[in-house]
Amino acid sequence: MAILPIIETPDPRLRVKSKPVEQVDDALRRFMDDMLETMYDAPGIGLAAIQVGEPIRVLVIDLQENDQKQPRYFVNPEIIWASEELSSYAEGCLSVPDVYGDVERPARIRVRYLDYNGEQREEELDDLLATCLQHEMDHLEGILFIDHLSKLKRDMLLRKLEKNRRQRGAA
């Protein structure tokens, strides 16, 4: 497996709408394994293919609850139902490092996707898994979590991100 470079904002590739995957094959499974390894190394709990420069509708998630790895693979995910009830989480992103913002999203969703083996699945998700999946699915549409924030909050976070970059560069 390989650690892939993660694209950071303001890279315009993060704004590209990802294309559906035609089939789940060994090459795609290797790529998803590399994505998972990259996510663990970062470290993070979710990663969309576009974040490593591939504009395809693929994402990986592992909430690593109880310090147990439980990788999830989502190919061509689509939300087919969302609750009216909302929940708010302080979201962060590997492509917008070291900044966080409260984002409201549906508390529960029903999603349809292909799994690691190309089998179609449908399930209802809630809590952090539902939030994480919606966050990663936004990437497939070229949307970042900061796009859900007010202009004032977004601008403040982007200034903080730029300051952090300058400090990393000086170190």
Owner of token pair 């789940």: 24
Beta strands 72-82 and 86-93, pairing class: unpaired
SS3 2: coil
Number of neighbouring beta carbons within 10 Å of residue 117: 10
Tokens linked to 21: 């995957």
Q: Which pair of structure tokens corresponds to residue 101?
A: 């913002």
Amino acid at site 65? E
Token pair, residue 79, equals: 């939300």
C-alpha–C-alpha distance, residues 75 and 117, integer Å:
10
Is 136 annotated in the active site? yes
Distance between CA atoms of 70 and 76, rounded to whole angstroms? 20
Active-site residues, by number, are 136
